[in-house]
């Protein structure tokens, strides 16, 4: 009898190990499939433009050239300033966004809050209906006077309905009312409860919405296009967009028709420059993601369950 139990246990362990091996192989293939496009973009960015036109995309370029990066960093001060604007907007915007989102989501997650349904519907309503681009632009330029100001890059994405609802659901499911009541009995104020109890218990969902906010601020170029007029306030994404437009203009048929005088201008990278801009744009955010990964999945899955 004991031998049969041991044999059965050995068979189950063998099946489990084989299943784990299959899943490991499948996920390894999936990871390679996800990383391959990024690797291809990088290899294309360091490929010689003529070689790229002749041979097409390849993971192993026949001729390596860093002309695309050299062209981008011809005005290194501009790139550095754009990175500074983007990093500053990301840091300030993300911190304020997380704080305001938590301050909004915490009260509406508590059943003891009398107007929780009203404010929940209010924030949900903004996901379905919006005022449109024209009133939005008039509000920020004519009334708030934020044109050509970094605040115009920070305020619009500051509080999003999706993040508020994710945090609300997370707090409702993972923050027992008994803990809050015991803190109130001990004489703690609402702000003391929020910063000493709610915030430490909400690290996973804070990391989740923090990552969402960082991605939103880092990848934004549209707000810069709408509101920013001074080059010193351009962020990295809009600077890359302008560089791309300049390349498209230089390689257009109108410029090419000017004759041999423009031959030097036409000796600029085209496709390789696009790939180099993608690498420069996503590089820092790719390295930042692993620091959020520990809490990201837990915060997203728990916060997404309806309660």
Q: Are residues 101 and 200 located together in one domain of the fold?
A: yes
Q: Are residues 215 and 114 located together in one domain of the fold?
A: yes
Domain of 262 in residue numbering reads as: 75-303
Express each pLDDT in 268-299 by its tens digit.
667 787 788 878 777 666 766 666 666 655 55
CATH number of the domain within which 114 lies: 1.10.3720.10
Does 51 map to a domain?
no
Residue 50's contacts (CB-CB under 8 Å, 6 or more residues apart) are: 63
Q: Are residues 166 and 227 located together in one domain of the fold?
A: yes
Q: Are residues 11 and 153 located together in one domain of the fold?
A: no
Nearest to residue 223, comparing CAs of 243, 240, 238, 241?
238
Count CA atoms closer than 13 A to 121's CA, side-chain side: 3
Residue 96 confidence (pLDDT) above 90: yes
Which position has the token pair 């791309």? 244
Express each pLDDT in 25-83 by its tens digit.
888 888 888 888 888 888 888 888 777 777 778 788 878 888 888 877 777 788 888 88
Does 55 map to a domain?
no
Give the model's pLDDT for residue 175. Answer: 82
Residue 134's contacts (CB-CB under 8 Å, 6 or more residues apart) are: none
Neighbours of 166 (CB within 10 A): 22
Q: Are residues 39 and 182 located together in one domain of the fold?
A: no
Does 214 map to a domain?
yes
Q: Are residues 88 and 147 located together in one domain of the fold?
A: yes
Give the model's pLDDT for residue 304. Answer: 45
Does 68 map to a domain?
no
Q: How many Å from the N-terminal Cα to the C-terminal Cα in the chain?
A: 48
Q: Are residues 30 and 173 located together in one domain of the fold?
A: no
Does 82 map to a domain?
yes
Between CA 216 and CA 154 the distance in angstroms is: 10
Q: Are residues 23 and 98 located together in one domain of the fold?
A: no
Express each pLDDT in 109-144 by its tens digit.
888 888 888 988 888 888 888 778 888 888 888 888
């Amino acid at each position: 009898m004991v031998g049969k139990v041991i044999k059965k246990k050995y068979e189950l362990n063998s099946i489990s190990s084989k299943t784990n091996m299959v899943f490991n192989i499948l996920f390894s293939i999936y990871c390679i499939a996800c990383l391959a496009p990024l690797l291809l973009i990088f290899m294309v960015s360091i490929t010689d433009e003529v070689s790229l036109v002749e041979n097409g995309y390849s993971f192993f370029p026949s001729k390596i050239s860093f002309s695309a990066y050299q062209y981008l960093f011809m005005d290194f001060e501009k790139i550095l300033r754009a990175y500074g604007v983007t990093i500053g907007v990301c840091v300030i915007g993300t911190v304020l966004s997380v704080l305001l989102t938590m301050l909004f989501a915490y009260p509406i997650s508590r059943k003891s809050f009398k107007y929780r349904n009203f404010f929940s519907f209010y924030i949900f309503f903004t996901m379905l209906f919006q005022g449109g681009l024209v009133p939005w632009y008039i509000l920020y330029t004519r009334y708030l006077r934020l044109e050509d100001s970094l605040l115009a890059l920070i305020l619009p994405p500051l509080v999003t309905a999706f993040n508020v609802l994710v945090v609300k659901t997370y707090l409702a499911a993972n923050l027992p009312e008994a803990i809050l009541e015991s803190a109130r009995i001990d004489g703690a104020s609402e702000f003391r409860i929020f910063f000493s109890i709610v915030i430490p218990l909400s690290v996973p969902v804070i990391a989740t919405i923090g990552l969402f906010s960082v991605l939103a601020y880092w990848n934004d170029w549209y707000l810069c296009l709408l509101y920013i007029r001074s080059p010193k306030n351009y962020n990295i994404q809009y600077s890359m967009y302008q560089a791309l437009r300049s390349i498209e203009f230089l390689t257009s048929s109108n410029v090419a028709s000017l004759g041999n005088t423009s031959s030097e201008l036409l000796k600029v990278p085209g496709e390789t420059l696009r790939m180099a801009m993608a690498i420069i744009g996503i590089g820092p955010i790719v390295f930042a993601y692993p620091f959020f990964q520990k809490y990201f999945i837990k915060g997203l899955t728990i916060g997404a369950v309806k309660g």
